[in-house]
Amino acid sequence: MAAPRFLAICGSSGLVGALVVEVATRTAPLALLAGAVAGWLPISLVQSRGRRRQREYAAVWPEAIDDLASAVRAGLSLPEALAALGVRGPEALREPFHQFALDYQVTGGFGECLDRLKERLADPAGDRVVEGLRIAREVGGGDLGRLLRNLSSYLRDAERTRSELESRQSWSLNGARMAVAAPWLVLVFMAFQPSVIRHYATAGGALVLALTAVLCVVAYRLMLRIARLPVEERILR
């Protein structure tokens, strides 16, 4: 999605959120706060989708590499084995490998098609797989099977370790999120009492809302930073 279009979606979402809350509560500070939250929602959804896609890739890469190794042992060439993943590979990875097969049919350039595949995957594990295949193709020899087995074992162990760490920290993250959300849930219930919520339309009420919002954002970001697991970066672009 183009950046101007995405910014327009964020702006529209924020405007709608602000108008809805303004009509419901007649409280401008609450409307501005709701608009800021609604405007941030598309960004949060895109970030969450990216993280989810990377987690899906991490979970299925060992299976994909095992399928690739089996295809090579069965006598398929490396390009044919990669193209086969677009049909019989893990569901999450089929589309990028299907596009690789189409590219290879059109151009016949293995290295160029690998570059495009790496761009479509945009994944650290995918970078290692692609570069390992490139080296194996250029050097030749009988080390491809051993390379794939070692890479599959490494990725499977890394995924198992990360899953254990994430499961152990999930309870503390959920508790922190509930603590941050609690004052805003109270505010939502207060919005149904016009005699109470109108106090936030004053300068003092707006200041309280602003300080609370800032403290919640700072506390939430600090919590995420403390509990953040190391993120694998793409170093083989």
Cα(181)–Cα(179) distance, integer angstroms? 6
Backbone angles phi, psi at 223, to 5 degrees: -60, -45
The owner of tokens 């800032």 is 214
pLDDT for the residue numbered 99: 92
Cα(43)–Cα(9) distance, integer angstroms? 10
Would you mind telling me the total number of residues written for the chain in this entry?
237
**Summary mean pLDDT of the chain:** 81
CA dihedral (209, 210, 215, 221) positive or negative? positive
In angstroms, the Cα distances linking 130 to 98, 118, 122 are: 15, 7, 11
At residue 141, does pLDDT exceed 60?
no
Cα(108)–Cα(39) distance, integer angstroms? 45
Tell me the per-residue pLDDT of 176-186, one tens digit each, with 9 for 90 and over.
788 888 888 88
**DSSP letter string, 14-42:** HHHHHHHHHHHH--HHHHHHHHHHHHHHH
pLDDT for the residue numbered 102: 92
Cα(164)–Cα(77) distance, integer angstroms? 37
For the record, the structure tokens of 49 come out as 């989708």
pLDDT for the residue numbered 178: 83
Contacts of 58 (CB under 8 A, 6+ apart): 123, 125, 155, 158, 159, 162
Buried b (16+ CB within 10 A) or exposed e, 49-66: eeeeebeebbbbbbbbbe
- pLDDT over 90 for what percent of the chain? 3
Cα(119)–Cα(170) distance, integer angstroms? 31
Tell me the per-residue pLDDT of 30-70, one tens digit each, with 9 for 90 and over.
788 888 888 888 888 887 787 787 777 778 888 888 888 88
Contacts of 176 (CB under 8 A, 6+ apart): 220, 223, 227
In angstroms, the Cα distances linking 177 to 38, 45, 147, 171, 174 are: 18, 17, 42, 10, 5
pLDDT for the residue numbered 191: 74
Tell me the per-residue pLDDT of 183-200, one tens digit each, with 9 for 90 and over.
888 887 777 777 777 777
At residue 86, does pLDDT exceed 70?
yes
For the record, the structure tokens of 13 come out as 């979402």
| Structural domain spans, the chain | 3-227
Enter the pTM of the model.
0.64
